[in-house]
Amino acid sequence: MHEVRKIKEEEYRDLVILHEQAYTAHAAENDEEIDQLVKKEKENLNAARGVQPYGVFKNNQLIGSMKLFDFEMNVFGSFLPTGGLSSVAVDLLHKKERVAKSLVDFYLKHYDERGYSLAALYAFRPDFYYQMGFGYATKKDVYTVAPHAFPNFKHKNDLTYLKKGDEQLLVDCYNEFASQHHGLIKKIKLQYQRTLEKFQYKVVGIKKNDKLTGYAIFSFKKREENNFLSNNISLHEFVYQDRDALQQLSTFFHTQKDQVHRITFPTQDPAIHHFFTDARDGSDELVNFVYHQTNKSGLGLMYRVINAKRFFQQVSKHNFNNSNHSITFQISDTMYPANAGEVTVKFTNGKPTVVQGAKADTIVKMDIADFSSLVLGVVEFEKLHLYGKVDVSNEEHVKAINDTFYTREKPISMTNF
């Protein structure tokens, strides 16, 4: 058995060295750089709220680490506590010793005991974490469009630069946006302080009556070494609360066409190609037969229900499409057996009630990973049934269950951790 506990401040140097050895892409090269990273780590952890490093120890030596985040995530219009996991690192000498499993085991139990029902992480390998019971979240698309593809609405009168000291404006704008969109996680001022302190990041916003209704965070990137006048723009965050904010921001990016070649635009809006006047990525590639290449797409964030019974209790005010149906979920959860077993949910005019022991209209057998994606509205039940991911006691009920869990808006995320 491994010992898992909080990492003390005097152990942060060991934490930094472990992390640098595990993630070598931009690893420190000398003691001075390590010292700077330790200083930065202390500052960040002391300033952060709801973030804590934990470690696996063997003979008082740190051999694995992770960071846990106490988040609030919009789930169907209400913010629910959600446990985030990141920065999982294992000492090179202790690979394949189930160190990562000890960390994840602790993580799931830690948040379950605190009354959470949901967990989330960015997977270094989606297949690995799928086997650990984490379900896929909504994919992210990245478009690379010409500036003129952003429509010109002839108006950007409320556009202004945001600078150091404007963190609260950004937090308020984002959190209002988050309250309107399923899946978004609340943010704090610290997350914007770091951005506004770095000159390479540009922040523009739509300001009305001392409030922001939208903003964009972006940076420039040289297109070619031998042409300093030609640049690309990378958009890092794009938020708009209403139609006017979207139109003013769009006009702003349209007007950059004299010195910008392409704009990289990450989004989870499946209809965004209808917004651009030209959604092609400039490669002139065709996808069989005559489909013009528009974007890259990828999997990243993954969700996990860590207490199925509690999840339905916490979303008891949500209307699951006026459903009148009772379902017994027989959930397989080999990673966290405390969450496995039967949960019977009765939907009355869409409102769920957990009624253990009652006879259900339908029995559904499924793995916790697919269950997590289903109940958050990432994937439709009919698809899981078609793909052989679920077994149902009555095939005629597949459509009714699909209608119960159908969501108009899939969960999205704009929080990196």
| pLDDT tens digits, 258-316 | 999 999 999 999 999 999 999 999 999 999 999 999 999 999 999 999 999 999 999 99
Domain-embedded: residue 415:
no
Q: Give me 365's structure tokens.
A: 């057998």
Tell me if 264 sits within 8 A of 101, measured CB to CB.
Answer: no
Q: How many Å apart are CA 119 and CA 74, to the nearest integer?
A: 13
The answer to whether residue 110 is domain-embedded is: yes
- Here the tokens at position 215 are 């903003």
Q: Any idea what DSSP says for residue 149? A: G
pLDDT for res 226: 72
Among left, alpha and beta (phi > 0; psi -120 to 50; other), residue 132 is alpha
Whether residues 212 and 65 fall in one domain: no
Within a domain: 302? no
Judge whether residue 29 has pLDDT over 90.
no
Q: Are residues 17 and 96 in the same domain?
A: yes
Shared-domain flag, residues 112 and 221:
no
Looking at the structure, tell me whether residues 105 and 165 fall in a common domain.
no
What pLDDT, on a 0 to 100 scale, did the predictor assign at position 94? 95
Do 85 and 207 sit in the same domain of this protein?
Answer: no
Estimate to the nearest angstrom the gap between the alpha carbon of 183 and the chain centroid: 8
Rounded to an integer, what distance in angstroms lies between the CA atom of residue 129 and that of residue 88?
Answer: 12
Same domain, 312 and 293: no
Is residue 302 within 8 A of residue 129, CB to CB? The reply is yes
Q: What percent of the chain has pLDDT over 70?
A: 100
Alpha-carbon gap, residue 136 to 3, rounded angstroms: 30
CATH code, domain with 198: 3.40.630.30
Measured CA to CA in angstroms, residue 24 lies from 17, 20, 119, 127 at distances of: 11, 6, 27, 22
Same domain assignment for residues 269 and 322: no
* Confidence class for position 16, pLDDT limits 50, 70, 90: very high
What pLDDT sits at residue 141? 98
- The Cα–Cα gap between 380 and 405 comes to 7
Among 297, 316, 346, the domain boundary falls at 297
Q: Can you give the pLDDT at residue 386?
A: 98
* Six token digits for residue 412: 């999205």
Residues 18 and 24: their CA atoms lie apart, in Å, by 10
Check: CB of residue 196 under 8 Å from CB of residue 155: no
Domain annotation covers residue 259: yes
Q: Are residues 234 and 87 in the same domain?
A: no
- Place 383 in a pLDDT band, splitting at 50, 70 and 90: very high
CATH of the domain at 368: 3.30.1050.10
pLDDT at 23: 87
Do 166 and 292 have their domain in common? Answer: yes
Q: Are 140 and 269 in contact (CB under 8 A)?
A: no
Range of the domain at 338: 308-405
Residue 122, domain member (yes or no): no
Query: Which is nearest to 206 in space by CA: 252, 150, 264?
Result: 252
- Percent of the chain's residues with pLDDT above 90: 93
Nearest alpha carbon to residue 263 among 295, 291, 241: 295
- In 3D space, the residue among 100, 87, 73 whose CA is nearest the CA of residue 372 turns out to be 73
- pLDDT tier at 350, thresholds 50, 70, 90: very high
- pLDDT for res 235: 98
Q: Is residue 177 part of a domain?
A: yes
* 322 and 222 within one domain: no
Q: How many Å apart are CA 118 and CA 279, to the nearest integer?
A: 35
Question: Would you give the DSSP letter of residue 185?
Answer: B
Residues 204 and 329 both lie in one domain = no
pLDDT at 25: 78
Instruction: Decide if pLDDT at 224 tops 90.
Output: no
Instruction: Say if CB 344 and CB 327 are below 8 A apart.
Output: yes
- For residue 229, is pLDDT > 90? no
- Considering 116, 149, 180, which residue would you say is the last residue of a domain? 116
Q: What number is the average pLDDT over the span 311-335?
A: 98
**H helix or E strand, kind and range, residue 329:** strand 325-332
> What are 59-88's pLDDT values in tens digits?
999 999 999 999 999 999 999 999 999 999
Q: Is residue 124 part of a domain?
A: no
Total number of domains constituting the chain? 3
The pLDDT of residue 28: 84
Q: How far apart are CA 344 and CA 355, in angstroms?
A: 6
Please tell me the predicted confidence (pLDDT) of residue 170: 98
Residue 23 in 3-state DSSP?
coil
Is 151's pLDDT higher than 80? yes
Q: Give this prediction's pTM.
A: 0.94
Residues 372-376 have a mean pLDDT of 98
Contact 160, 205 (CB under 8 A): yes
Place of tokens 């050895």: 21
* pLDDT confidence of residue 88: 96
Question: Across all residues in the chain, what is the average pLDDT?
Answer: 96
With a cut of 90, say whether residue 209 has pLDDT above it.
yes
How many angstroms separate the CA atoms of 28 and 3, rounded?
28
Average pLDDT over residues 378-401: 98
What backbone phi and psi angles, to 5 degrees, belong to 210?
Answer: 65, 20
Taking the alpha carbons of 378, 381, 387, 391 in that order, is the dihedral positive or negative?
A: positive
Flag whether 130 is in a domain.
no
Residues 63 and 158 in one domain: no
Residue 108: closest CA among 83, 129, 137, 71: 83
pLDDT by residue (tens digit) across 153-170?
999 999 999 999 999 999
Q: Which two tokens stand for residue 216?
A: 């964009």
What the block records as the tokens of 11 is 């152990």
Region 86-94 average pLDDT: 95
